[in-house]
Amino acid sequence: MKIRLLDTRTGHFVEKDPKHTEYAILSHRWNDVEQSHQGLRGIQRSYDARGRLYFSRLPVSIREACRVAREAGYRYLWIDSCCIDKTSSSELTESINSMFLWYSLAKMCYAYLADVPSNKDPRKDKSAFCSSQWHKRGWTLQELIAPSGVKFLADDWTEIGTKFTLFDLIEEITGIPRQALLHVKSLDEFSVAQRLSWAARRQTTREEDRAYSLLGIFNINMPTLYGEGSRAFRRLQEEIVRHVPDLSLFAWNRHI
């Protein structure tokens, strides 16, 4: 499956083979309304007299993300909120099942923490970094684990640190062992119960996403059916039982 990317120089969408393309990826939790795929398509139809996109009309968040990636040498950038056409159920399902792979193939993942001011020590007791909502979001679990490189950005898009420089602090905040964060051990070396515990206190807007955000953590593919509610998590558990020979799932269930 090809991935739809933003060209960081033009602001246009392009489709590329993720296995043969260098691209960056953005992980985020916006404080404001996200830009949809259709909304960005509308902006992309605006050109100046020379046929160039009115880049300044892009939302500030997307414009800044493109700038950061472009200045680091990345021509292409993936942002889930605008690069996935969520009005297409087939595209949404395929994208959700491919996300973990896309994050793992990215050359760099930029984690934008909109609620963390710049020039603050992330290691300071009760720091904004430690209490950021980014650490509590369901989807950011895979966005933290899958990429080999993660760079954390403050509210003004300046660098806070990386997954490698802050791994001990991140381990303390999230409960995810450094061996998983730094890819020292593969995920299948951690028990099912342990992997589920990483997501236990994380929140998702849609109930179904509690299950869908974990597909890559267990290397499982399954259809997404928004509207099924808690049934999604039961289906995930059934798939885990079928694919992972680990009875710790049942021990974890007794504690939820």
The tens digit of pLDDT for each residue in 193-227 reads 999 999 999 999 999 999 999 999 999 999 999 99
Q: What is the pTM of this model?
A: 0.91
The strand pairing partners of 24, in sequence order, are 77, 108
Identify the pLDDT of residue 38. Answer: 77
pLDDT in tens, 24-59: 999 987 655 677 887 788 777 766 545 455 667 778
By percentage, how much of the chain surpasses pLDDT 90?
A: 76
Quote the percentage of the chain above a pLDDT of 70.
Answer: 90
CB 195 within 8 A of CB 78: no
**Is the C-alpha dihedral spanning 215, 216, 219, 224 positive or negative?**
positive
Strands (E), 123-194: 150-153, 159-162
All structural domains of the chain with their residue ranges: 3-185, 187-256
Question: Would you place residue 184 in the very low, low, confident or very high pLDDT band (cuts 50, 70, 90)?
Answer: very high
Residue owning tokens 């342990």: 194
pLDDT number for residue 255: 42
Per-residue pLDDT for 254 more than 60?
no
pLDDT, residue 256, reads 42
A 10 A CB-CB count for 187 gives 16
